[in-house]
Homo-oligomer: A and B are copies of this chain.
Amino acid sequence: MTNRKSRPRRPSMKDVARLAGVSPTTVSFVINQSTHSNIPEETQERVWDAVRELDYRPNAMARGLRAQQTLTIGFISDVVATTPYAGQMIQGAQDLAWQHGYLLLLISTGGNQQMEETGVEMFLERQVDGIIYATMYHRAVTPPEAIDNVPTVLLDCFVEDHSLPSVVPDEVRGGREAIDHILARGHRRIGFVADNSTVPAQIGRLEGYQIALQGYGIEFDPSLVVAGQSTPAGGYGAAVTLLQQDNPPTALFCFNDRMAMGVYNAARKLGLSIPEDLAVVGFDNQELIVSYLDPPLTTMHLPHYEMGQWAVEHLLHTIAAPDTQDVAQQHLIDCPLIERASV
């Protein structure tokens, strides 16, 4: 999926701080010759000694940005119009940015790679202080190389070598907690209305499903996992297959709320009442669906707003102290259970 090269390990501001026996903030003050600080001459000398010993070079570009910030963040995403998810990510990002006096400069590319490259160039021309690179669903990406010129956080996506920091939903935990909830209500034969792809959401939620069953000492039965397209029609088909087995499940965990819509139709067709004859749990918490379905759907909340917030918060930390955060990481955000009336 990606051919991004790992960065060589350069000495960081943290290394300087460790060697000088001071905090990274103190190092930052000394190096940037901040006039607001009041750091003893002797401490300053220790810092400069450590800088020389490690051959540490502050990130010049980042220092330039700090000197002349535009208080603007470039937000580039594949989709903005077709799902409410993108809106929630943008809202979370903008709310956090707003608290710190930042605004978002927006580009929606439809996933077009040429447009992504031009878009990042346009961000750089406008001297954004950092970039959020977002996708509509959790997946591996290969952002334009030019993104390396400014602090960047990946939102709902990741590069495979994890050379850029990212924030994604905790799919495994989401799957596990959905099944734990169903198990706690007494069900032991639980079907999985799965997505017929290998996206991280499917892989992670299936892993969570298996972990939860294991916790109750229930053996994994592959015939209880039936995949289809992640649409109402796909959910309908998978549910019919599952519910017409000889020993049918009494509960269905659905890859997403759209598939759960189809599960409701299948249950109606087969004369099964929800939740009396069949418990159903969705995933996404898509407002329009969960409130329309009768009974309202218990589901796992996809934390788009919260991921948007986290991405900007992390980005602003990196902008404020670029050399203290040179180790990329992947941050997982919980998908909490939203209990309604379908279990």
Residues of A at the B interface (CB closer than 8 Å) are: 70-72, 75, 80-84, 86-88, 90-91, 94, 98, 101, 103-108, 115, 122-123, 126, 232, 261, 265, 286-289, 291-292, 294, 305
Contacts and interface: CB of A to CB of B under 8 A. Distances in A.
B94 A90 contact: no
Contact of A288 (B72, B90, B126, B288): B288
Contacts of A81: 84, 87-88, 90-91, 305
A94 B82 contact: no
A106 B103 contact: yes
Given A126-B72, A232-B292, A288-B288, A106 B90 contact: yes
Contact of A91 (B80, B105, B126, B291): B80
Contact of A105 (B88, B104, B288): B104
Contact of A104 (B71, B86, B106): B106
- Quick one: which of A90, A106, A115 has the most chain B CB within 10 A? A106
Contact of A289 (B88, B101, B105, B288): B288
13 contacts: A72-B105, A80-B91, A81-B87, A81-B91, A82-B287, A84-B84, A84-B87, A87-B87, A103-B105, A103-B126, A105-B106, A232-B292, A265-B294
The 9 closest A-B pairs by CB, nearest first: A81-B91, A81-B87, A106-B106, A81-B88, A104-B106, A80-B87, A87-B87, A80-B91, A105-B105
Given A86-B87, A288-B289, A292-B232, A94 B106 contact: yes
Contact of A292 (B105, B106, B122, B261): B261
Nearest to A115: B98
Contacts of A72: 105, 126
Contacts of A115: 98
Contacts of A305: 81
A90 B82 CA distance: 11
A97 to B, nearest CB: 10
Contacts of A122: 101, 103
A107 B101 CA distance: 12
Nearest to A90: B80
Contacts of A291: 232
B70 A94 contact: no
Contact of A108 (B86, B90, B105, B108): B90
B103 A91 contact: no
A117 to B, nearest CB: 13
A70 B126 CA distance: 8
A71 B94 CA distance: 21
Nearest to A122: B103
A75 B288 CA distance: 26
Nearest to A288: B288
